[in-house]
Structure 1
Amino acid sequence: MTTTVNDEGTAATVSTNDEVLERWRDKKKYLWPLSLLPALVTFIAWGLVELTGNGIFWWSGPVLVFVLIPILDVLIGDDGQNAPDEFMDELENDPFYRWVTYLYIPLQYAGLAVAVAMWATGTLSILESIGLAVTVAMTSGIGITVAHELGHKKQEHERWLSRIVLAQSFYGHFFIEHNRGHHVRVATPEDPASSRFGENFYQFLPRTVKGSLTSAWELEKKRFERLGQSHWTLKNDVLNAWLMSVVLFGGILVGLQALSFAGVLTNYSIWNVVPYLIIQGVIGFGLLEIVNYLEHYGLKRQKLESGRYERCSPQHSWNSDRIVTNLALYQLQRHSDHHANPTRRYQTLRTFDESPQFPGGYATMIVIAAIPPLWRKVMDHRVLDHYDGDITKANIYPPKRDKILAKYGQTS
């Protein structure tokens, strides 16, 4: 007797009492270590510079993320595989997948150490140093996906690892706001991390940075008020997350200064390092925020008669199932399932046909979002189609509301 559990998975056969049971397997399982490539991009850049003698390769990070991955997404296409319900618990508890996220962290910080050493010697040109900073930012920015994955888990050590990842981009408050703010207010006008129809990324960025920071602080302040305690304590998760960044960067500068005094670094200046640490941090959290911009653009949960918003559904997140970006971002593109099941591990996230779909992977859409006229051309009609032509159902950017309604034949 042969039983087929799922046609989309690969199968292996095992014999039980002379019967053959066809068993589902995750055909991507041994591809997941490729997710560590963004953590290695500083080493890849260093190797290419050493091999060729050409400093242009310090810019390898953005080439990997914004050129190579989108090309591979097109060539390789979609994933399309969902784990059967019968195998979800087994897949969720397989430690192999967990270690793929854990290993990102030492590789991320080893890459930072290499970059700091290169800057500190003063041997790179300004252009090369900026290129290296942008490459490092690709590691820390994509590392925020690891922080996102770990920060949703119930295990306390994983939540601390999340904050360690975020320390490099000085964005530790994301851990608080995302879990307790964004997941509550997603796809509503009150959410600073949900972009609005007609709002370009450069308008969204200052709003979400300020709003997310304010939200995180208020969430922790209210938590301590409920406890009857002052929020000015290191138990405040915003403060202890920021302290990790202070210790990280302070430790780097103190260590470099000590090496300079000892004569190990003969050409060291603090200005060889500090500007590039700032650049990598800003671009790193900027990469997070442009992904936030993509994920819920123009989508809105409607209000019920009670005055509350409807529950978040697969209709409230933009998704993609391009396999290469899925590997690079730990299936963050299966965003609807993530909002439905926030604690679910990346390997078990599912793709839904009913979810609104991007025409490309997140890596491709980041490039498009950076060019506002192109973004509007690609995405605005998709939002309109999603709401069957009724633009009043969309989350509209208030300064452009009247203009948008007039354009699509609607009134306030």
Structure 2
Amino acid sequence: MNIGGDLWRDPKRHFWLCGIVIPLSPFLSWVLVHYLKLGIFWASGALLVGVIIPIVDRFTGTDRSSPPEEAMAALEDDRFYRWCVYLYLPMQYAGLVFACWVWTTASMGTAERLGLALTVGVVAGVGINAAHELGHKRTRHERRLARIALAQSWYGHFYVEHNHGHHLKVATPDDPASARFGETFWHFLPRSVFGGLRSGWRHESARLNRRGQLRWGLRNDLVLGWLTSLGLFAALVAVFGWQVAPYLVLQAAIGVVLLETANYIEHYGLLRETTPRGRYVRVSPRHSWNSDHVCSNAFLYHLQRHSDHHANPMRRYQTLRSAREAPQLPAGYAAMGLLAYIPPVWRRVIHPRLLAHYDGDVTLVNHGPTRAPLTQRIAGPLRRPARRADSAGVGAAS
């Protein structure tokens, strides 16, 4: 890319091919088990996301550089980056079919079958992330690919709710996908899943009503998504038998949990300010947690630069910028997700950074309908650590 006579090259250009490793993990599992004779490697997808990526993140650190403004247009138009995402889908479904074949033909114990379901569930969860990237684009074929990527996890409503609900209500008590201060992941999970489903149905029903079309017809994106998932699962059961059905359900549930884990992390406790008229201000980088950890960003198509994504939702992943004004996570999503599953550890790590972001003012956080005294009681013991985190330079600029 020529910029004023100078040639600028994206130093992370080939890093994005790392994303293809995840849908290959069912095949990698088979190779590792075949040669190393250890059944634990059926769970190689979970080992990759939960162990290897956080360790590599620890050593590779962060990269807060951003593409120069003059290179943005050419970078957006470079089709190499699109194909890095497109390739995820055929590999995603090849891995799903391969797993069904293994479940029905290989000599495996129940624990090993569950380990493979965990691996396939990781592929499904990151597939929702690929759908997230594709679903924000204007081109019809990319939006169709987003729907296909969501079929494995039965999460077709995400396409509607994320674009038309979450992006409008993000970092407010009205958004089911924005975690509230003091809310554990295990309380957030059902609220986000069922709240997102209700919100998606409302938005799609309203759209169809405006057009005078039937809510239960094939023009309903939610109905179309459900039918696509049903057709996929029915075809797999028809080919491989009913014994694959429990594992298909399990992998879909795992994929949903991984997606909702990312949702929990991305906006935890953050609240948009209100104008004198009582309206929420426009979304800015301050309203999303940011992470510039190199390895996990390479596997997640820059999802962790979530602050710039919400400020510029149509921007392609390769052009997302680091947001220094956003609150900063101390690790990538893979490590933070593990912490989220253990509420006391999560609070100990994230609350000081959250309160530092708001200069220790607990009234500024998103506590939803929780009564203020309860919020004060949760936050009170953390005010001193918040100042220590701020003085040590941990967290975001306020």
Q: TM-score range by the shorter chain?
A: over 0.9
2:131 matched to which residue of 1? 147
- Larger radius of gyration, structure 1 or 2? 1
- 1:250 aligns to 2:221 (yes or no): no
Which residue identity does 2:278 align to in structure 1? G
- Quote the sequence identity (%): 52
**C-alpha distance in 1 between matches for 2:378 and 2:97:** 52
State the 1:340 CA deviation: 1.1
Q: 1:263-284: CA deviations, max 9, x gaps?
A: xxxxxxx2x2111111100000
Q: Tell me if structure 1 keeps the 8 A contact 2:267–2:289.
A: yes
**C-alpha distance in 2 between matches for 1:172 and 1:406:** 39
The number of residues matched between the two structures is 380
- 1:216 aligns to 2:216 (yes or no): no
Q: Tell me if structure 1 keeps the 8 A contact 2:308–2:320.
A: yes
Which residue identity does 1:316 align to in structure 2? H
1:8-407 paired onto structure 2 within 5 Å:
21-121=5-105, 123-257=107-241, 270=242, 272-399=243-370, 401-406=372-377
For normalisation by structure 1, the TM-score amounts to: 0.90
State the 1:228 CA deviation: 2.3
| C-alpha spacing 1:51/1:122, structure 2 compared with 1 (3 Å) | closer
**C-alpha distance in 1 between matches for 2:369 and 2:347:** 17
Q: 1:121-164: CA deviations, max 9, x gaps?
A: 26321100000000011111111110000000000110010010
State the 1:303 CA deviation: 1.7
Q: Tell me if structure 1 keeps the 8 A contact 2:180–2:367.
A: yes
Q: Tell me if structure 1 keeps the 8 A contact 2:152–2:252.
A: yes
Q: Which ranges of 4 or more aligned residues in structure 1 deviate by more than 3 Å?
A: 397-401, 406-410
**C-alpha distance in 2 between matches for 1:30 and 1:44:** 21
2:388 matched to which residue of 1? none
Q: Tell me if structure 1 keeps the 8 A contact 2:292–2:304.
A: yes
Which residue identity does 1:57 align to in structure 2? F
Which residue identity does 2:158 align to in structure 1? F
Which residue identity does 1:153 align to in structure 2? K
- Secondary structure at the aligned position of 2:24 is classed as helix
Which residue identity does 1:327 align to in structure 2? A
Q: Tell me if structure 1 keeps the 8 A contact 2:173–2:369.
A: no
**Higher mean C-alpha displacement, 121-130 vs 310-319:** 121-130
Q: 1:217-263: CA deviations, max 9, x gaps?
A: 01011111111222111000010011110010011111224xxxxxx
Which residue identity does 2:279 align to in structure 1? R
Which residue identity does 1:298 align to in structure 2? G
State the 1:81 CA deviation: 2.1
1:263 matched to which residue of 2? none
- Secondary structure at the aligned position of 1:39 is classed as coil
| C-alpha spacing 1:235/1:388, structure 2 compared with 1 (3 Å) | same
For normalisation by structure 2, the TM-score amounts to: 0.93
1:260 matched to which residue of 2? none
Q: 1:195-219: CA deviations, max 9, x gaps?
A: 0000010000000001000000010
Q: 1:154-212: CA deviations, max 9, x gaps?
A: 00110010010000000010000000000000000000000000001000000000100
**Higher mean C-alpha displacement, 118-127 vs 94-103:** 118-127
**C-alpha distance in 1 between matches for 2:64 and 2:311:** 19
State the 1:407 CA deviation: 5.2
**C-alpha distance in 2 between matches for 1:332 and 1:142:** 10
Which residue identity does 1:404 align to in structure 2? T
State the 1:54 CA deviation: 2.1
**Structure 2: which 5+ runs fail to align?**
382-398
Q: Tell me if structure 1 keeps the 8 A contact 2:137–2:143.
A: yes
| C-alpha spacing 1:385/1:250, structure 2 compared with 1 (3 Å) | same
State the 1:35 CA deviation: 1.4
Which residue identity does 2:317 align to in structure 1? Y
- Secondary structure at the aligned position of 1:166 is classed as helix
**C-alpha distance in 2 between matches for 1:216 and 1:59:** 33
- Secondary structure at the aligned position of 1:27 is classed as coil
Q: 1:370-410: CA deviations, max 9, x gaps?
A: 11100000011111111111111100153464222245569
**C-alpha distance in 2 between matches for 1:383 and 1:256:** 49
Which residue identity does 2:25 align to in structure 1? V
Aligned-residue Cα RMSD (Å) equals 1.6
2:385 matched to which residue of 1? none
- Secondary structure at the aligned position of 1:336 is classed as helix
